[in-house]
Chains A and B, each alone.
Chain A
Amino acid sequence: MQPPLLEKEGNLLLPFRAPRTAQMNASAPIAAFACVVRRDLLLAMRRRSDVATTLFFFVIVVSLFPLGVGPEMNLLRTMAPGVVWVAALLASMLALNRLFSGDYADGTLEQLVLAPHPLGLLVGAKVAAHWLVTGLPLVLLAPLLGLAFDLNAKSLGILMLSLLLGTPTLGLIGAIGAALTLGLRGAGVLLSLLVLPLYIPVLIFGAGAVEAVAAGLGAGAHLSVLGALLVLAVFFAPWAAALALRISLE
């Protein structure tokens, strides 16, 4: 039998054992979702450098601004939300290329498409794992970087919250673009042209939330819009991306 909890990372995969019963397994889609998330997290753990590049990019771009602008505290404070948000946008852009390209290159994407599950579900799982390794770290790092811009505690909190609501939306919208440009020459640039305009609403309401708090107004309205965008993206983006994947694979 299998030795429990002896092998290192391999254990992450142990719960995969899904006992197949005669009756239709209602938990099968959940098991498939979890399987893809675990697999992608495990792959990210084995290739930490890919994750690190996105994070370093974010940190460096944001820290360049105080150096370039100089120690003008008032100026920095006003531009902080915009700078952090634009950097977050570009960093998620950078990571998007890898969302499907690895699976496309080694043929595992074909197997995902042929799995007896709704493809949208599996795409959703891939985006979720992708966000956990590229989006969540940005959310956690943002307050540290915000300090360099002399943001107060309340603004930092709202900045984090807006990123928490906004970055998954970026990943979901980006997945459609990544699926459409899969396997094309010059896919990277095309992807930016395709996806960046779609990011604009998220940018406006994300950065706007922090600015509204700084100006003494509540951030509630902005955050609600971000939440609404996220809900919309969660419901529609995976299916759109799945459709685009099928087209790209033909």
Chain B
Amino acid sequence: MLLANGLECVRGERRLFRDVGFELDPGALLHVQGRNGSGKTSLLRMICGLLAPAAGDIQWNGTDIRTLAESYRGELFYLGHQNAIKDDLTATENLLVSETLAEAPVTRASARDSLDRLGLKGYEDLPTRVLSQGQKRRVALARLLFRERSRLWVLDEPFVALDPHAVREVAGIIADQLGGGGIVIYTTHQDVDLAAHQRIELRLGK
């Protein structure tokens, strides 16, 4: 389904990695590893089409993702380094906006339910500016619950700032997605056990 060929990444004058490739089928889990600065985030942004590879190509169902454009972006969920939530909006409003834009079926009630599930009960109507780092990350992660239809999840450090309880909850959501035939690509420096029938470890920068 997702096929990457000979990817090369050059930032500034430095070549971060070259000749990176993989092939992922439905239900596959790709764990991208590497030291800080080895290009993990760059690789994830490439997979999303935010960054053009210096060489190589990425194909979704046999077609280059640049050709697919919007129809590929409809299949994709990207959780970046930044939480992509607005400080001046409440947690619920943030979810309503982001999921409406993604054409996911969202209602005020379902947005609140998903926030409750991530342990944000009682914080749904506060501006996210007053939340802690971990709570903000949870708001960002609540989007996962609306993206079962997205067949490709790209998660950049999803577990950062989360407590062990929340890590387990998120790991459970990811496991459900893999069980439903979704592809998940993620990076983490934490020791989280994620099981999948096809699990690939990719180490960048030697």
Question: Residues on A close to B: CB < 8 A?
Answer: 1-2, 7, 10, 13-14, 16-20, 25, 28, 31-32, 35-36, 39, 42-43, 46-47, 106-108, 110-118, 122, 249-250
| Contact digits for B138-170, partner A, Cβ 8 Å, 1 yes 0 no | 000000000000000000000000000000000
With beta carbons under 8 angstroms apart, the residue of A18, A114, A118 that contacts B100 is A18
Q: Are B50 and A116 in contact (CB under 8 A)?
A: no
Interface contacts beyond A17-B107, A43-B88: sample of 15 additional A-B pairs, CB < 8 Å, sorted by A: A10-B93, A16-B100, A20-B103, A28-B103, A32-B103, A36-B101, A39-B89, A107-B80, A107-B83, A110-B80, A110-B82, A114-B50, A114-B78, A116-B70, A249-B50
Q: B92 at the A/B interface (Cβ < 8 Å)?
A: yes
Q: B104 at the A/B interface (Cβ < 8 Å)?
A: yes
Per DSSP, are chain B's interface residues mostly helix, strand or loop, or mixed?
loop
CA distance A111 to B106 in the complex (A): 17
Per DSSP, are chain A's interface residues mostly helix, strand or loop, or mixed?
helix
CA distance A234 to B123 in the complex (A): 40
Q: Are A108 and B84 in contact (CB under 8 A)?
A: yes
With beta carbons under 8 angstroms apart, the residue of B71, B90, B103 that contacts A10 is B90
Q: How far is the CB of A102 from chain B (nearest CB, A)?
A: 8
Q: Are B101 and A35 in contact (CB under 8 A)?
A: yes
Interface size class of B (residues with CB under 8 A): 35 or more
Q: B59 at the A/B interface (Cβ < 8 Å)?
A: no
Q: Are A106 and B50 in contact (CB under 8 A)?
A: no
Question: Residues on B close to A: CB < 8 A?
Answer: 48-52, 70-71, 73-74, 76, 78, 80-90, 92-93, 96-98, 100-109, 125, 127
User: Which A residue sits closest to B128, measured CB to CB?
Assistant: A106
Q: Are B93 and A42 in contact (CB under 8 A)?
A: yes
